[in-house]
Structure 1
Amino acid sequence: MFLGLRTIVYPVRDLATARRWWSEILGSAPYFDEPFYVGFNVGGYELALDPNGHAESGAGPVTYWGVEDVDQAVTRLTSSGATVHAPITDYGGGIRTAVVVTPDGNLLGVIENPHFPDSPA
């Protein structure tokens, strides 16, 4: 079901400060920079900053595993005992995510992103 790791989203309280710090640490500017989300390409993976992440996750960073179909992934995960934490969200351009809580209480993100290298066509 999983295609590999894709994205880690760090919740941040001060987006401008976090953007500057990560830009310095990574040695590059973000490829996506909006008031609601900042994304850096790090070796073909995404490191993201979310100013709303503390409210959404409540538990720190969320790692997203790539999947071919978010609907199918959520169905499989919930039928195996996970519960929905953040419902399927469509961000446009074929990018869709969801977050579930595993039976042992961890957050598990899934992302359908046809723009990611090695994603099925």
Structure 2
Amino acid sequence: MSKGIQTILFPVEDMGRAKEQFNKLLAAQPIADSPYYIGYKVAGQDIGLVPKANSKHMTGPLPYAHVDDIKASLAALLEAGAETVEEVRDVGGGRLVASVRDSDGNPIGLVQDAG
């Protein structure tokens, strides 16, 4: 089951400049701030900035649907014609992510939180 799209990652060239812009856009300070990830939580939405150099598969913003069973959700997307971009992997603390491109080339990310 999907809990909807709750996370969007943006690949950026200049983390400092992007942080300044998103601080103003969101009228918020980041809840995570490191050289490899700057994260915001605004109105239940997670918004992340990642350096382009660390985002090999990202050519633009990547929305992530939060799901209960990432393997089943990935299999359903592949059966419907999507193609794998990033296999399921643990990004820390048991949080699993994966991504695909739909039949029109749009990126779709999946997140399964530990629990």
Structure 2 length-normalised TM? 0.88
Q: CA deviation at 1:103?
A: 1.5
The residue type paired with residue 105 of structure 1 is G
Q: Residue deviations 1:40-89, cap 9 Å, x none? A: 0010110111113663222x101111101211211121122111012212
Q: CA deviation at 1:91?
A: 1.1
In 2, distance between residues paired with 1:55 and 1:71? 22
Q: Which runs of 5+ in 1 are unaligned?
A: 115-120
When the two chains are superposed, the root-mean-square deviation of aligned CA atoms in Å is: 1.6
The residue type paired with residue 42 of structure 2 is V
Provide the residue aligned with 1:50 in structure 2: 50
Q: CA deviation at 1:21?
A: 1.5
The residue type paired with residue 68 of structure 1 is D
Q: CA deviation at 1:23?
A: 1.2
Provide the residue aligned with 2:32 in structure 1: 32
In 1, distance between residues paired with 2:102 and 2:25? 32
Q: CA deviation at 1:24?
A: 2.2
Provide the residue aligned with 1:19 in structure 2: 19
Report matched runs for 1:33-112 at 5 Å. 33-52=33-52, 55-58=56-59, 60-112=60-112
Q: Residue deviations 1:12-58, cap 9 Å, x none? A: 00011111221122222111112111110010110111113663222
Structure 1 length-normalised TM? 0.84
In 1, distance between residues paired with 2:78 and 2:25? 37
Q: Which runs of 5+ in 2 are unaligned?
A: none
Provide the residue aligned with 2:10 in structure 1: 10
- Tell me the number of residue pairs that the alignment of Structure 1 and Structure 2 aligns: 114
| Identical-residue share of aligned pairs (%) | 32
